[in-house]
Structure 1
C-alpha cells in the first residue's frame, strides 16, 4: 500500500500563535499523493489561473449580473449618444467639461462622454425602461378596453351550454303560440338561480311524478283515526309552523309525510300527534337551515312525548317512506302558478289561504297537488273579482282549463265559506291578520257558491268531494 506524505502549509496568524505557545499541533490542510509528488491545487486557486493574459474567473451569479449590467449600460450609452447627435444642431457649440466641443478634439470629447455614461449607467437604464413601458402601455390599454366592451355582450356560460345542448338534441326555443300568453320568466332571464332555461322541463317532470308520491284513500284503513282528528292535527301544526317561523316548504312537506305514512301504517289515536311532531321535525331538517331541536317539540306537546319517543317515530317514518323526501308538494306548484297569474300581494295571500284550508281537510287529498294549486289560483281570482278569471297564460303553465277545475274550485270556495264558523281557527286566524292582508275576512266567491250551493256542515263538503271523485285526475 502506497504511503502518503503530509505537507504542512504556511500557518495563519492564529495557528502560528498556537504553535509558539505550544498549545497544540497545526492542522493538516493539503494532502498530496506520493506517486506523482505533485501538490494538489488549493481551493482558493480555482478559477484564478491566467489564460491569454486574462484571469479565468468562474461565472457566478453576482459576476453574471455585473456583466449583464455593464452590457446594458454600454448599450444605453450608445443609444443615448445617437439621440444626442440627432437632437443637437451641427452649428451649436456643445460644452464638455467647460470647453466648447468645437474646440475640443474628437478623442477628448468621446472620452468625456464615455466618462459621463459610465458614471450614470443605472439612471439611463431606468429611464430607457420607463420609456419602453410607456410606449407599450397604450396599445395594451386599448386592447383591454376593446375586450371589456365585447365581454359585456358575451353570453353567460350557462346559456352557452344550454344552447349547445338544445342544438345537439334538435330542440329549439318554441315561440309563443298566442299573443295573449305572457312570458312570465322574462324578468328572470339574467338570474341563473331562476333556472329559466330549465324551468318548463322541470315542471313537466313534476307533473309526471306527482302521482307517484300521493297517498291513496287511507282513512278507512285506520280504525282509531278519522277526518276530524287529522284536521285538528293539521290546525295545530299551522300554529307550530308559525311559532317557529318556518318556511312554507316545511309545512307542505310535513303534511305530505303525514299522509303518506298514515297510508302505509296503522297508527293508534294516542300516537297521531307524535306522528305530526316527527313529520314536522323531518321536514324542518330537510328544508330549514336551522331546524328546531327535539326538545322544542317536547315542550310544545306539553311533554306528552319524550325525546326518545320522537326520535324512534322519526326513524320509523323514514323507514316506511324509504327515505323518499324529494317530492313535488303542493307548494312547488303554488309558486309557479301564482307567478303565472301575474299577482299582487293580496292575490298571493288569498291563494295561500285557500291552499292551507285545503291541506286541513282530508277531502282534498283526492285531487292531485297541481290541480289543488291551480284551483286555489282560480278561486282567488274569482274572490277578488280579477279579470280575466282564467287566462291563456294560466292554461299553458297549469295544464288545466277552467272547466277542469270546476269541481275542485267549488270545494275550496265552500271551505272558505265555512271557515268563519269552524271550530278550527288556526288557518283563519293566521290570514285574518293584517300581516297577511286579512284576506280571510273577505267574502267567498259568490259565483262558485251559487253553482255548488253553500254547504253548512262537513257532511255536505264530503258529498261534494265524493261527487268530484268521479272526475279525479290521475
Structure 2
C-alpha cells in the first residue's frame, strides 16, 4: 500500500514543516521486504512540542497533535493578557492587542540560616582555692574559633557545691580495697575460691538459729545466773584446753536451748556441762569424757544425768549444730582488719565480755563481731577506725556499729571491778598480750563512766 504524504497545515502563522520540499513517494513494501523505521530518536517539532514518531502519523494522530498545539498557544496568550487599572478605574481586557508588561523582578531567595544547637554542658565539681567547691561547665565539643576564656562561676553553682560539701557528698578519692585472701591462694584449707560465697550464706542464715529473749519465760533463772554459768565455762574451757570453736558453740547451744525449754535452777549447770560435751564432740578430735565433766562438777551430776540432758538438748535443737556462731565472723573480720597479735587478742576479749552479758543477744553475731573489731581499733587508736575493706567484708557502716560498740566498751571499763573475773584473768596474762589492762576507748564511753584498767 502506497504511503501517504502527511500535509502540514499552517496554524495561526505557524510555518509548515517541510514546505518547499517535494514529497517523495515511498516504494511499495510487502510484508517480507519491510524495512525498519528510522531512528527512534528523530524528533519532529510541531509548535514547540517534541514528538517522537514511534509510529506513522495518521489523520487522527495529526489532528490530536494540532489540537494540543492550539491549546498550548491559547494558554500562552492568556498568560500574556493583563488587566490595566488606571486611576482606580475598571480593568479592561484587551483580547485583540495583548499588553505586554515588563517581567516582574524575580523575588530574591532568602538564604536559609542553619542554627546549630549548642553543645551540651557537663557539670563537674572541683575544689576552688578561695570559694571552696564550685561548678565548672565544660562543653563536650569545642567550637572552632571559640573564646578560651573560662565562664565565671554563678552564685547558684557555688552555693550548690558548698551544700554538697557540707553534707559530705563531694567526690572523695576512693580507698583501695585490700585483697585479704591474696596470701592464701596456694592454701587449699583457706578455700579462697568460695570463701566469699560461704560468708554470704552465713549472713543469710545467721538469723534462723538466733536465740530470742527468753528470760521472761524462765521463772527460776535470771541474767546474773547465766553470767555465773558462762564465767565457770570459761574456766572449764581453759582447763580442758579446748578450741575456741567449741567454746562459742557451747554458748550458742545454751542460749538456743533456754529459748525453747524451761529449765529449773538446779539443772542450769547440768545444761552447761551437756552443751560443752556436745560442742566438744562436734569440734574436737579428742573430746573430754563424761567422767571428766562429772569430776569438774564435784559429782553434782551423774553420768546418766549428763547423757539424758545431752539427748534432750539435741532433740529440742533438732540436731542442728552447723550454725554460724560469733567465732565464725570474728575470724573473717579480724583478717579483714589486717590486725596484729595484740589487736586480735583484744577483739576476742571484747567479744567474750559481750557473751557474758545477756543484753548483747539483741544483736546478731555478725554485728557483735564487727563491733568488737571497731571497738578494738578505737582502743588502740588505729586510723582509720573503719575503712572500705571492712565495710565490704562485714556489710556494716561505722554508724551502724556505734551502739553495739558502746556496750562492749562499757563492759570493758567495768571488767576489772566485776566479781566474775574469768574472762578478765584470761586476757590479763602475757600469753594474751595483757589486752585486759588496756584503757578503753574514751570516745565510746559515756562521760560519767570511769575508765577501767591502766595502759
TM-score w.r.t. length of structure 1: 0.58
Q: 2:344 matched to 1:348?
A: yes
> 1:84-107 deviations in whole A, cap 9, x for unaligned?
xxxxxxxxxxxxxxxxxxxxxxxx
Q: 2:278 matched to 1:315?
A: no
Any gaps of 5 or more consecutive residues in structure 2? 1-172
SS in 1 for 2:416: coil
Larger CA Rg, structure 1 vs 2: 2
Contact 1:337–1:377 at 8 Å: present in 2 too? yes
Q: 2:425 matched to 1:429?
A: yes
- CA 1:349–1:296: 2 relative to 1, 3 Å: same
- Measured after TM superposition, the shift of residue 432 of structure 1 is 0.3
> Aligned residue for 2:395?
399
Structure 1: how far apart are the matches of 2:301 and 2:339?
A: 43
- Measured after TM superposition, the shift of residue 178 of structure 1 is 4.9
Structure 2: how far apart are the matches of 1:451 and 1:334?
A: 29
Q: Equivalent residues in 2 for 1:203-242 (5 A)?
A: 203-242=199-238
Contact 2:175–2:388 at 8 Å: present in 1 too? no
Q: Equivalent residues in 2 for 1:72-471 (5 A)?
A: 178-450=174-446, 453=449
SS in 2 for 1:323: coil
- Measured after TM superposition, the shift of residue 450 of structure 1 is 3.9
> 1:212-236 deviations in whole A, cap 9, x for unaligned?
0000100010000000000000000
Contact 1:330–1:370 at 8 Å: present in 2 too? yes
Any gaps of 5 or more consecutive residues in structure 1? 1-176, 457-474
- Measured after TM superposition, the shift of residue 451 of structure 1 is 6.6
Structure 2: how far apart are the matches of 1:407 and 1:451?
A: 15
TM-score w.r.t. length of structure 2: 0.60
- CA 1:452–1:221: 2 relative to 1, 3 Å: farther
- Measured after TM superposition, the shift of residue 331 of structure 1 is 0.2
Structure 2: how far apart are the matches of 1:451 and 1:185?
A: 40
> Aligned residue for 1:130?
none
SS in 1 for 2:445: helix
Structure 1: how far apart are the matches of 2:451 and 2:386?
A: 25
> 1:238-289 deviations in whole A, cap 9, x for unaligned?
0000000000000000000000000000000000000000000000000000
Structure 1: how far apart are the matches of 2:323 and 2:175?
A: 34
Contact 1:274–1:310 at 8 Å: present in 2 too? yes
Structure 2: how far apart are the matches of 1:420 and 1:190?
A: 43
Aligned-pair Cα RMSD in Å = 1.5
Contact 1:414–1:454 at 8 Å: present in 2 too? no
Structure 1: how far apart are the matches of 2:448 and 2:201?
A: 33
- CA 1:294–1:268: 2 relative to 1, 3 Å: same
Structure 2: how far apart are the matches of 1:342 and 1:442?
A: 20
Relative to its length, the structure with more helix (as a share) is 1
- Measured after TM superposition, the shift of residue 455 of structure 1 is 9.8
Report the count of equivalent residues.
Answer: 280
